[in-house]
Structure 1
Amino acid sequence: MRAPAVVALGGGHGLHATLSALRRVTGPEHGGELTAVVTVADNGGSSGRLRGEFGVLPPGDLRMALAALCGDDEWGRTWADVLQHRFAGAGEMNGHVVGNLLIVSLWERLGDHVEALEWVARLLGAQGRVLPMATVPLDIAADVRGLDALDPAGTSTVRGQVEVARTTGEIAAVRLDPPDAAACPQAVAAVREADFVVLGPGSWFTSVIPHVLVPELRAALCETSAEVVVVLNLEQQLGETTGYSPEDHLEVLLEHVPDLPVHAVVADRRSIADADALGLAVASYGARLVLADVGLDGEEARHDPARLAVVLAELFDR
C-alpha cells in the first residue's frame, strides 16, 4: 500500500513538530505526499520587517516548515541549519534570518510565491511541499475581554498577530483582514485530494484557527473526504489560551468552524488532567480520542516528533 497523502496546517514551532513527525511516515521517500499549508499573518521580527518593506507574504513560518522537511542526512541537517541561521550584530541585518532573505529573493526574481517555495524545497532536498494558506499577507484581529478596567465584561479589538499572541485579556474570537482573501489554489487542491488533514498543535488563535477563516480553504476542509486529525497542545499558552482546558481548545476551534468534520483528536497522556472530560468532549463531536505519550521528556512543553510519528502512523494504518 502507498503511503497516504497528508496535509498539515499551522505555523511556527507547532507545525515544525508536526512536519518533523510526518516526514518519517509519508512524503516522497515513503511513496506518499506531504504538504504543509502555512499561515501568512505574522507581523513581527524578521518576517514583519520584510513584509513591511517589500509588501510580500511573511516568510518566517514558511521557512520553518521547509526546515522541518529537511532530511536527517548531512545535506538536510546542514541546509536546515543554514536556513534557520539568524544574524547577530548591531546593524540593519540584526535579527534577519537567512531563509527569510532567500525566500523573498526568489519571490522577487520569479514573481510567483509557490514556484519560489518549490525552488527552495528542491535546494534543500525537502521531503514534501510548502504552500501559503493565502495569496496575500493577512492580519489577525481579535475580540478580547478584560482589557478595559471600567468594563471587564466588554470586548476590545486587538489587531496584529504579535499583539493578539501577547494580549493579557481573554480572546473571544478572531477574524482575518481582509476577510475574503483568496486562498492559495494549490493549498485548496491539496486539502481536497488528501487522505488525511492534520490541524495543530500550535498557537491556537494565531496559527491554527486562521486556516479555517480563509473562505476557500474553510470550504475545502469541510468538504474534503480526508480524515481530519486535531493534535492538541501540551499546555495552555500564556496570553492566547490562558486558563483553557484541552476541551476548551476543541470548543473554540469548532465555534469558529462548526461544520468542520473531526475524526480523531491526539492528546499527550501526561498533560491531560481529566481524560474522562476530554473523552466526552471528543465523542460529542463524533471523533475518537487518542491518548499517547507524544511530548518531549523534561520541562520543555514541546511535541516529540519521533513519538508523534508513531501515533500518526498508527492512525493512518487503521
Structure 2
Amino acid sequence: MSGGDLPSVVALGGGHGLSASLSALRQVTDQLTAVVTVADDGGSSGRLREEFGGLPPGDLRMALAALCGDDHNGRRWASVLQSRFRSEGPLDGHAVGNLLIEGVWQAISDPVLGLGLVGELVDARGRVLPASTEPLNIEADVLGLEVEFPHEVHVLRGQHMVASTNGWVQAIRLLPADPPACPQALTAIERADYIVLGPGSWFTSVLPHLLIPQLAAAIIASPAHKILTLNVTSGLETAGFSPSRHIELIAENAPGLRLNTVVADEAFAASDAALAQTCATLGADLVVDDVAMHDHTARHDRLRLAAVYREVMGGAEADLEM
C-alpha cells in the first residue's frame, strides 16, 4: 500500500456476519472485495439452487446489500435487494435480490460477471465474489442428537441442517472436498493489504473458506495483514464455546495459518482469561473493544467495528459517503 492510498481489503464470510464486517469496512476503504460462501441450501436460495442448479444467491445478495451506500439511493437499493415477495403463489418468500441475481445469471452465463453487473446497478461500494465457482454442500459430524445415546456421532448434510442443529458440531467437511476456488478471489487475496475473516456462523460461514484448498493456500501464503473478527457471543452453532475455542477451530482447520490481529468484543473476551495466550499461539495480537450493539442483540455495531478496523489498519480513512 503506497502512502496516502486506501488499503485493499478482502473480507471472507457469509450471511449476517459478513454483512456486519462489510458495513464496517466500507467506512474505512473503497478498495473492498467480499469473498462469499456458496453452500446455502435453505429458504429462497435453496429453492433456486434446486431449480436451476447454480450458485445459491442469498449470501451474495446480502453482501451486495451491505455494500450499498448510506445515501438515499443506496439505502433504497439495499431495501429492495433484501425485500421478499409475499403471495399465495410460488414466488412467496423469495428475496427480490435473489431473483435479480438469478435473472442476470440466466442472461449472462458467467456468475462473476453477473455479480459485477448487479453491483454496478446498485452502486455497490466494493466487489462481491463467490468463494468457489461451484455450489458446495456442508457435511458435519454431530453429537447429542439422541438423548439415549449422547455420544453417538451422526452425520448431517446441508448448510441449513448444520446451522440449525441442536446437537454439538464436532467437525465439518465440504462436498466436493476439493472444489475450484473462484480465480478472481484468489487474485484479490494475492493483492490484498488486509484479509478479514469473520464474524459469522463459525461452522457454516467462516470455516468453509479454509476448507477450499486453493483458497486456504492463498490466504496462508498471502503477506497481507490477517484479521480474525470474533462474534460478540457464542452462537447457535458454537453454543458454550469460549472465544479461545473459536480460534482453536481456525487452527485445526487451517494448520498453516498465522494471524496478525484478533478482534474481540470486550464482554465476550472477559469470559476467557486464556484468550490473549491462545491468540499468541497463532502469532496474533488481541484487540479488545466495545464493538457490540447495545440493544441486547448479538450483533456488531458497524461504526464501533469500523473504528477498530481503522486503528488496526494504521488510521486509514476515506472521504466516503456515509
User: 1:1-318, aligned counterparts within 5 Å?
Assistant: 1-27=4-30, 33-238=31-236, 240-317=237-314
The alignment covers a number of residue pairs equal to: 312
C-alpha deviation, 1:90, in angstroms: 2.1
Worse-superposed segment, 17-26 or 89-98:
89-98
C-alpha deviation, 1:152, in angstroms: 2.6
Specify the SS of the correspondent of 2:12: strand
C-alpha deviation, 1:276, in angstroms: 3.0
Worse-superposed segment, 84-93 or 183-192:
84-93
The answer to whether the Cα contact below 8 Å between 2:242 and 2:272 also exists between their aligned partners in 1 is no
C-alpha deviation, 1:151, in angstroms: 3.9
Specify the SS of the correspondent of 1:186: helix
Worse-superposed segment, 281-290 or 144-153:
144-153
Specify the SS of the correspondent of 1:8: strand
C-alpha deviation, 1:218, in angstroms: 0.8
- Aligned mates of 1:49, 1:147 — CA distance in 2: 26
C-alpha deviation, 1:301, in angstroms: 1.0
Tell me which amino acid in the other structure corresponds to 1:299. H
The answer to whether the Cα contact below 8 Å between 2:242 and 2:271 also exists between their aligned partners in 1 is no
- Aligned mates of 2:219, 2:273 — CA distance in 1: 28
- Aligned mates of 1:154, 1:39 — CA distance in 2: 29
- Aligned mates of 2:281, 2:103 — CA distance in 1: 48
Tell me which amino acid in the other structure corresponds to 1:261. R
Tell me which amino acid in the other structure corresponds to 2:220. C
RMSD: 1.1
* Higher-RCO chain (CA-CA 8 Å, sequence separation at least 6): 2
Q: TM-score, normalised by structure 2?
A: 0.95
Gaps of 5+ in 1: 28-32
Gaps of 5+ in 2: 316-322
Specify the SS of the correspondent of 1:265: strand
| Match of residue 320 from structure 2 | none
1:34-73 CA-to-partner distances (Å, cap 9, x unmatched) read 0000000000000000000011100000000000001111
Tell me which amino acid in the other structure corresponds to 2:6. A
Tell me which amino acid in the other structure corresponds to 1:243. G
| Match of residue 30 from structure 1 | none
Tell me which amino acid in the other structure corresponds to 2:222. T
Specify the SS of the correspondent of 1:201: coil
- Aligned mates of 2:145, 2:271 — CA distance in 1: 30
> Structure 1 vs Structure 2: percent identity of aligned residues?
55
1:152-182 CA-to-partner distances (Å, cap 9, x unmatched) read 3232111000000111211111010011110
Specify the SS of the correspondent of 1:218: helix
